[in-house]
Amino acid sequence: MIGDRAGAQGRTRLRASEVRISYWQHRAEEPFVAVDGVSLEVIEGEFVSIVGPSGCGKTTFLNAVDGLIPISGGSLELDGRPVRGPGRDRAMVFQQPSLLPWRSVLRNITYGLELEGRRSRAEIKEAGLRYLSLVGLDGFANVYPGQLSGGMQQRVNLARALATDPEMLLLDEPFASLDAQTREFMQLELLRIWRQSRKTALFITHDIKEAIYLADRVVVFTARPGRVKEVVPVPLPRPRELRVKRDPRFIEIEDRVWNCIEQEAAAAMAGGRSA
């Protein structure tokens, strides 16, 4: 059986073509080009992972999709409309939990909903409790983030993004700072939640196994300036258990991604030396 979404012909949610993103540097004549020529399409309900060497522009690209930074070339469209700024159709799960330390867990989860200001207080609270439960943090509603472990903080971070009910989830290495066991558990949880909510997901990670385990397709970026080097489909059946990571087909895909990355890592190192 083929992965149930890999070949799905849904609507195109995100269309990036030849996206170029540059930073204006202080006192520099030339802008610093972080991403140059990224072309990528993401279908509705699809889970896409992005991997690539550190500093290749993954976060930059994701920030542009979220509308936090502008692009300086190419085009970036969501549902056929160019991205102009942050919007309710997207929500970001940041690499750092970025929780408001003076708000309780529940009020962190409802933060996005409160900013929207469309629903009553009672409705917001009810939604908050629902997502609290979804990420397995029942009973932690009135605890402050500082009292939680890293893994729990990341679950709050995830719940906060889910609570606004976005069509697209943007995740920037959300599990990178977690220990190995917690990370695997969070991967399992994320897949469970994603299956239930059927959201489109764009997931950045450092970890090749994680990228493959979660995704319908793995996008490998080149060294900076980032471009899409290769797109590797993951035709593994879902729902996936953690066991699948030892499946020969999984390992074959892993080898393929690993080879791509090794070339780029070498290029990045060479670039670093000459720079």
Chain residues binding ligand ADP by CB under 6 A are 23, 25, 32, 34, 52, 54-60, 224
Cα distance between residue 109 and residue 143, in whole Å: 12
- Report if residue 94 touches another protein, rule: CB under 8 A: yes
- Report if residue 149 touches another protein, rule: CB under 8 A: yes
Q: Which residues contact 115 (CB under 8 A, 6 or more apart)?
A: none
Cα distance between residue 185 and residue 242, in whole Å: 9
Residue bearing tokens 């409802």: 110
Interacting residue with another protein among 11, 84, 88, 198 (CB under 8 A)? 88
Cα distance between residue 13 and residue 250, in whole Å: 27
H or E segment to which residue 154 belongs: helix 150-163
Nearer to another protein, 209 or 217 (CB): 209
- Report if residue 247 touches another protein, rule: CB under 8 A: no
Nearer to ligand ADP, 111 or 221 (CB): 221
Shortest Å distance, C-beta 104 to Mg ion: 29
- Report if residue 59 touches another protein, rule: CB under 8 A: no
Binding string, residues 92-121; x marks residues near Mg ion by CB under 5 A: ------------------------------
- Report if residue 177 touches another protein, rule: CB under 8 A: yes
DSSP state letters, 108-150: HHTHHHHHHT-S-HHHHHHHHHHHHHHTT-TT-TTS-GGGS-H
- Report if residue 205 touches Mg ion, rule: CB under 5 A: no
Partner that binds at residue 57, options ligand ADP, Mg ion, another protein, none, CB closer than 5 to 8 Å by kind = ligand ADP
H or E segment to which residue 157 belongs: helix 150-163
Nearer to Mg ion, 95 or 200 (CB): 95
Interacting residue with another protein among 31, 82, 86, 139 (CB under 8 A)? 86
- Report if residue 164 touches another protein, rule: CB under 8 A: yes
**ω before 225 within 30° of 0 (cis)?**
yes
Shortest Å distance, C-beta 61 to another protein: 15
- Report if residue 96 touches another protein, rule: CB under 8 A: yes
What is the footprint of Mg ion within residues 24-63 (CB under 5 A)?
A: 59
Q: For residues 18 and 41, is the Cβ–Cβ distance under 8 A?
A: no
Residues forming a β-bridge with 230: 220
Give how far the C-alpha of residue 228 lies from the chain's centroid of Cα atoms, to the nearest Å.
16
Partner that binds at residue 224, options Mg ion, another protein, ligand ADP, none, CB closer than 5 to 8 Å by kind = ligand ADP
Interacting residue with another protein among 176, 244, 251, 267 (CB under 8 A)? 176
User: Rounded to the nearest 10 degrees, how much is the dihedral formed by the CA atoms of 130, 135, 139, 142?
Assistant: -80
- Binding interface with Mg ion (CB under 5 A): 59
